[in-house]
Amino acid sequence: MSGNSVTANGDSLAEHQKEADAVAEAVSLSPKLIFESVRRNGEEELERPMRALWYSGIAAGMLISFSVIGEALLRAALPDADWRYIIENMGYTFGFLLVILGRMQLFTENTITTVAPVLVSRTWSSLRRMLSLWGVVLAANVIGAFAVATFLAYAPVLSDDIAAAFNELSQHATGMPPLEGLMRGIPAGVLIAALVWMLPTAKGNEVLLIFLFTWLIALGDFTHIVAGSVEMAYLMVRGELGLAPAALSFFLPVLAGNVIGGTAIFTLLTWAQIKPEVEAQLD
C-alpha cells in the first residue's frame, strides 16, 4: 500500500509540475512580461560602452545595405510583370535579417528598447542616456551607409542591370515629397517596434517574424531611415542628390516619421496598457 501511495503521490507531483510549467509558459506571454523583457534589453544597451555601440552601429549601417541589394537583385532578375513587385520586395528582408539576428545596433529598434527604461524610471539621467545612445547609433548607421554606398558606387561589384535597379530604387525612396516621406515613415516605425515587441515570444520563429514584418514594410512602400540612408548616400556620392534636399526632403522627415511611429505611437500605447501593473509592482 505504501508503495502505491508513493507512486500516486509521485504521479500527482509530476502532473502538478506539468500544470505549473504550462501556466508559467502562458504567463510568459503576458504584455507586462514582454515589456519587462524589452526593458531589460534596453537597460543592457544603455549600459554598453559608447565605443561598442559606435562600431555595432557602423556594422548595422553597412549590412542593412543588403536590403537594397537584395531588392535590386530580384528586380534585375525578374521579368517586368505585375507580380514582380511582390517578389522583389522579399529582397528587402535580407539586410534586416542580418542586422537583427546579428544583434547589431539599428536606430529604429532603439525607438522602443531604450525608451522602455525611461518610461519606468522617468528621470532626466535616463532620458539623457537614451538620447545619447540614439545620437551615437544613428550617426554610426549613417556612416556605415555612406561607407557601403561609396563602395557600391565606385567598385566594380554591381553589374550594369543591378546597378540600374539599385539606382531606380534609390531615386524612388528619396524622391517623395517631405510630408509623404514623413507619413510613410510612421507605419515603418510602428512595424519595427512591433517586431521588437514580438521577438521575445517568437520561440524559434524569429526568421519568419523578421521576414514577414520587413517584407510588409517594403510592400507598403514605407520609408525606413537606415535602409533609406543607403539609397540616399548612393545618390549623394554619385553626385545625383545634394546635401540640402537629402537632409530636408528625405532624412529629417523620414527620421521624424520613424520616431513618431516607433515611440510616440507603438511604445507609448503598449506602455499605457501595462502601466498600472508596472507601477503597482514598483509600489
pLDDT value of position 32: 80
Domain with residues 31-282, CATH architecture: Up-down Bundle (1.20)
Q: So what's the pLDDT on residue 272?
A: 85
Q: Domain coordinates of the chain in residue numbers?
A: 31-282
**Residue 210: left if φ>0, alpha if ψ -120 to 50, beta else—which one?**
alpha
* Model confidence, pTM: 0.86
Q: Which residue has the cell 557600391?
A: 152
Cell numbers placing 34: 514582454
Cα distance from N-terminal residue to C-terminal residue, the chain? 51
**70-117 pLDDT per residue, tens:** 999 999 999 989 999 999 999 999 999 999 999 999 999 988 899 988
DSSP the chain: -HHHHHHHHHHHHHHHHHHHHHHHHHHTTSHHHHHHHHHHHHHHHHHS-HHHHHHHHHHHHHHTHHHHHHHHHHHHHS-S-TTHHHHHGGGGHHHHHHHHHTT---GGGHHHHTHHHHHHH--HHHHHHHHHHHHHHHHHHHHHHHHHHHHHHHSTTS-HHHHHHHHHHHHHHH-S-HHHHHHHHHHHHHHHHHHHHHGGG-TT-HHHHHHHHHHHHHHTT---HHHHHHHHHHHHHTTSS-HHHIIIIIIHHHHHHHHIIIIIIIIHHHHHHHHHHHHHHH-
Per-residue model confidence (pLDDT) at position 23 = 44
Distance (Å) of CA 55 to CA 150, 184, 189, 200, 224: 18, 29, 23, 25, 21
Contacts of 1 (CB under 8 A, 6+ apart): none
CA dihedral 93, 96, 178, 184 (to 10 degrees): 60
CB 90 within 8 A of CB 66: no
The CA R_g of the chain, rounded to the nearest whole Å, is 22
At residue 274, the pLDDT reads: 82
Whether the predicted pLDDT of 2 surpasses 60: no
Structural contact between residues 224 and 58, judged by C-beta atoms closer than 8 angstroms: no
Interatomic CA distance for residues 259 and 185, integer angstroms: 8
59-73, 117-131, 205-219: range with lowest mean pLDDT: 117-131
Is the pLDDT at 64 greater than 80? The verdict is yes
pLDDT of residue 111: 86
Q: Which tens digits make up the pLDDT trace of 209-248?
A: 999 999 999 999 999 999 999 999 999 999 999 999 999 9
Count other Cβ atoms within 10 Å, centred on residue 214: 26
State residue 282's pLDDT score. Answer: 61
Q: Cβ distance 64 to 227 under 8 Å?
A: yes
